[in-house]
Amino acid sequence: PEALALRRRLGLARSSAGARSGARAAAGQRFGFLIVLDFEATCWGERGQRGPEIIEFPAVLLNTSTGVIESEFHMYVQPQEHPILSEFCTELTGITQNQVDEGVPLNICLSQFLKWIQKIQKEKKIIFSTDSQSNCTSEAKACAFVTWTDWDLGVCLHYECRRKQLHKPDILNSWIDLKATYRAFYNRKPKGLNGALQDLGIVFEGREHSGLDDSRNTARLAWRLICDGCVLKITKSLDKVSHYFVSSCLLAL
């Protein structure tokens, strides 16, 4: 056990999940599905008082039994407060002025995102709740949101919706911070998402600071944690009540 713990801290532990079934790899997981989010937002090279606005809204649905991304959502969002992107922002994210000009305002994006959520709930029998059993049938599979740090849902979306007086879906009030989870499980502080992947021998696929590519790679990291024996749990909740998200099963629809 001590040797295994040491190997895990060094990032050398390799799960035998590849050789066993996905069901065994996911044994003990609270969530049958994870939805990974990684927003890109307006930014500037210099410090200022300007609040970030989301300009890319991606989400990927990860099956925790197979490690397969089964569905994706992606939209470019048109910033309203500072509609012209800085050169710094375009260079960092690769997102062009034309892409955001042709995007939709955040309220429309959130509406489309909820339609996607409803669609996958029906198709995959997904529920959002703290209790994987909930009040639904045994076929229902619990789902949680995953981000790299608390910034996406705890800062960026939260305060943008507040500034613009937009209704933020309640299901986005709780999530798993994979950076904090990674740090606790491997007992090592990662140097960013790419650094965390590199430490585990995983090559980043795509372009860094592309929201969709970052989401896909975060999902790959989540799968690796699952395969290494980490049971993913909610790390942050903005809700005041203990049962922070309960929604209908939608199984009858």
Q: What is the mean pLDDT of residues 175-183?
A: 98
Cβ contact 238:173 at 8 Å:
yes
Clarify whether 74 is annotated catalytic.
Answer: no
Domains of the chain, start order: 2-237 (3.30.420.10)
Please report which confidence band the pLDDT of residue 153 belongs to, taking 50, 70 and 90 as the band edges.
very high
Residue 213 has pLDDT above 60, yes or no: yes
Q: What is the dihedral of CA 61, 65, 68, 72, to 10 degrees?
A: -10
| The residue type at 8 | R
Residue 17 has pLDDT above 50, yes or no: no
- Percent of the chain as helix, strand, coil, to the nearest 5: 40, 15, 45
Whole-number Å distance between alpha carbons of 215 and 61 = 10
Clarify whether 53 is annotated catalytic.
Answer: no
The predicted structure's pLDDT at residue 46: 85
Cβ contact 29:232 at 8 Å:
yes
Higher pLDDT, 129 or 86: 86
Which residue, 169, 156, 168, is CA-closest to 54?
156
Q: What is the sign, positive or negative, of the torsion defined by CA atoms of 155, 157, 160, 162? A: negative
Residue of 2, 40, 81, 243 with catalytic role? 40
Residue of 2, 81, 209, 243 with catalytic role? 209
